[in-house]
Amino acid sequence: MAENIVFETEQERREYMRRLRMKKEMRLRKKRRRKIKKLVRIGLAVFVFILGFCVLKFIVSKVKNATARSGRTVTAAVPADAQMYTGDEILHLNFPVLTLDQSSGEPADLDGDGEPDEDLNQNGIPDASENLTIIGDVQNTSEDGVLKNMPTLTVQEFNDILSDLYARDYVLVDIHSMTSAGEDGFVEEEIALPKGKKPLIISEAGLQYDPTDHQHARDLYIDDAGQCMNTYVNADGQVVSGAVDVVSCVDAFIGQHPDFSYNGARGIIGVTGIDGLFGYKINTDPDVVSVINRESVPEGTAINADEDENGETPVVAEAGIMPKNGGALQNSGDGTASVMSSSGEAAGGDKGTGESAAGRSVTVAECQKEAEKSLSDNRKKVLKLIRRLKKEGWTFASSTYADISYASEASIVKKDAGLWKEEVGAVLGETDVLLLPHGGDLDGWSGYQNGNEKYAYLKKLGFSYYCVDDSGSLSWLQTTADYVRQGMHEIHNKEAYGEVMKMS
């Protein structure tokens, strides 16, 4: 109960009430101060948490970017008796798309002059190549150094080469492991390998598959067991699957010999873009000949998809926009198009329907819609492949868009590289390796100069590692602050491999 206080005077009562109000106010002030302090502590804790989270996120982002740039896997413990190698001691062997047999076919006549092409690559684009020397029975039948009837490497020969490299104690290493990138640019690093092992880089240049080609793999896919396999046509004309190209063969070999891969490394896949990716069309391709070098288009040829030689708009769809049966579209003059088979005959309906072969018509919009769905499905397959290959340890590289030599003039190189970055690089993701095919290079052996227009453009696109053909030495490396250039051996046949091994 509250204490009953009797005051003698009113003044005493007021004084008492004043003291009570002061005590109450002091208690309220203390309570407010405690509350403020509590809120400050909570705010400070939240601030520290947010700051720490941001710092951690920044560090993780830096680590991820550095990992993506260097392409390194988790570093294994270095053995006590490890053998150290510098980047210029790494052997780099570059292989083409493998053939299923020994036949190489007839030289192509792409320009229609009745003679084998000597100044055009297989896509009809001028291809400046340096003089090449082949040891063996291959003859150089061209004055400009372009080889004809050169035997290409078969699947069995490539598997024999893998077995021989393994017997010689070579192990696969990642191209990014030979250098590191710091604030001052690239610096050469040493690689620690188990004693007795030697570093090796394997790459495949010009990876492109043609679904109608019976001499090479038709595509690359992931089978039910999660392995990368190829589809191809066997000697009996049957479409079958198996490991018949560089990527699938290397994967199969490492499956049998895991120690052939050091620290999870696989190899480099040099991808072109003119025939899609891994055997799948994923974009409506441009008229690559006219885009890269308009002057090489024969007179009278329509080079704009929207206009033919008569100035009229054709119904035939652009590259990649084709009916399911692989045929073409024939203009019917009424906004529809008859579906033509690849043999030129109209693809008719089922027998007994009363519909003539030439009478079946579809709208261009319907064909385009069907083609776009096919492209979309292909993109999903390609993205699945890319994720799988990266996870396995493969590194992607540009092998030019149209498989041309970058010893060509700057305008051709820039247009080709721009197409590759836009059509292929956008799908593959970050790529900083360039495999320069056909013996071509950007500049002299002394180094790439800042005034080199081709190098400046490629550097702008993000390329920092340049692999060039070098038959003069077993291994070679040039490391500068701005780029890394490595020598590689183009192994087009088993004889070329034998010559390289003579240097070791």
Which pLDDT does position 21 carry in this prediction? Answer: 86
Beta strand 185-188 with 191-193 is unpaired
Q: How many CA atoms lie within 13 A of 167 on its CB side?
A: 7
Q: Using CA atoms, how far apart are residues 226 and 385, in angstroms rounded to an integer? A: 10
Give the mean model confidence (pLDDT) for residues 197-224. Answer: 92
Which pLDDT does position 425 carry in this prediction? Answer: 94
SS3 77: coil
Q: Using CA atoms, how far apart are residues 235 and 103, in angstroms rounded to an integer? A: 13
Residue 471 DSSP label: -
Q: What is the pLDDT of residues 315-335, one digit of tens each?
A: 333 333 333 333 333 334 444
Q: pLDDT at residue 295 above 80?
A: no
Give the mean model confidence (pLDDT) for residues 39-51. Answer: 88
Which pLDDT does position 168 carry in this prediction? Answer: 96
Q: Where residue 205 falls among pLDDT bands split at 50, 70, 90?
A: very high
Q: Which residue has the higher pLDDT, 335 or 253?
A: 253
Q: Where residue 394 falls among pLDDT bands split at 50, 70, 90?
A: very high
Q: Using CA atoms, how far apart are residues 457 and 5, in angstroms rounded to an integer? A: 96
Domains of the chain: 83-292+375-503 (3.20.20.370)
In DSSP terms, which residues pair with 4 in a beta bridge? none
CB 322 within 8 A of CB 371: yes
Q: Where residue 293 falls among pLDDT bands split at 50, 70, 90?
A: low
Q: Using CA atoms, how far apart are residues 425 and 171, in angstroms rounded to an integer? A: 28
Q: Which residue has the higher pLDDT, 331 or 48?
A: 48
Q: pLDDT at residue 240 above 90?
A: yes
Which pLDDT does position 79 carry in this prediction? Answer: 63
Q: pLDDT at residue 465 above 90?
A: yes
Q: pLDDT at residue 359 above 50?
A: no
In DSSP terms, which residues pair with 95 in a beta bridge? 204
Q: Using CA atoms, how far apart are residues 359 and 85, in angstroms rounded to an integer? A: 70
CB 455 within 8 A of CB 445: no
Q: How many CA atoms lie within 13 A of 128 on its CB side?
A: 10
Q: pLDDT at residue 302 above 60?
A: no
Which pLDDT does position 303 carry in this prediction? Answer: 34
Q: Using CA atoms, how far apart are residues 504 and 489, in angstroms rounded to an integer? A: 13
Q: Using CA atoms, how far apart are residues 166 and 158, in angstroms rounded to an integer? A: 12
Q: Where residue 104 falls among pLDDT bands split at 50, 70, 90?
A: very low
Average model confidence (pLDDT) for the chain? 76
Q: What is the pLDDT of residues 261-292, one digit of tens each?
A: 999 999 999 999 888 899 998 877 666 665 66
Q: pLDDT at residue 486 above 50?
A: yes
pTM equals 0.67
Q: Which residue has the higher pLDDT, 356 or 293?
A: 293
Give the mean model confidence (pLDDT) for residues 474-500. Answer: 94
Which pLDDT does position 65 carry in this prediction? Answer: 53
Q: Which residue has the higher pLDDT, 148 or 38?
A: 38
Q: pLDDT at residue 435 above 80?
A: yes
Q: Where residue 103 falls among pLDDT bands split at 50, 70, 90?
A: very low
Q: Measuring CA to CA, which residue among 182, 203, 186, 207 is closest to residue 90?
A: 203
Please return the burial class of 404, using the count of CB atoms within 10 Å of its CB with bins 0-12, 13-18 and 19+. Answer: buried
Give the mean model confidence (pLDDT) for residues 362-366. Answer: 72
* Lowest mean pLDDT across 3-12, 91-100, 430-439, 452-461: 3-12
Which pLDDT does position 63 carry in this prediction? Answer: 61
Q: What percent of the chain has pLDDT over 90?
A: 43
Which pLDDT does position 309 carry in this prediction? Answer: 40
Give the mean model confidence (pLDDT) for residues 410-419. Answer: 92
Which pLDDT does position 343 carry in this prediction? Answer: 33
CB 323 within 8 A of CB 370: yes
Which pLDDT does position 445 carry in this prediction? Answer: 79
467 φ, ψ to 5°? Answer: -105, 120
- The distance in angstroms from the start CA to the end CA of the chain is 105
Q: pLDDT at residue 252 above 60?
A: yes
Q: Measuring CA to CA, which residue among 370, 368, 363, 358 is closest to residue 336?
A: 363
Which pLDDT does position 11 carry in this prediction? Answer: 84
SS3 250: helix
Q: Which residue has the higher pLDDT, 89 or 144?
A: 89
* Lowest mean pLDDT across 40-44, 70-74, 438-442, 454-458: 70-74
CB 489 within 8 A of CB 93: yes
Give the mean model confidence (pLDDT) for residues 105-112. Answer: 44
Q: Which residue has the higher pLDDT, 228 or 312?
A: 228
Beta strand 465-469 with 433-435 is parallel
Give the mean model confidence (pLDDT) for residues 368-386. Answer: 86
Q: Which residue has the higher pLDDT, 139 or 453?
A: 453
Q: Where residue 10 falls among pLDDT bands split at 50, 70, 90?
A: confident
Q: What is the pLDDT of residues 131-190, one digit of tens each?
A: 333 333 333 333 333 333 445 899 999 999 999 999 999 999 999 999 998 888 999 999
Which pLDDT does position 120 carry in this prediction? Answer: 45
Q: Measuring CA to CA, which residue among 320, 358, 319 is closest to residue 340?
A: 358
CB 283 within 8 A of CB 372: no
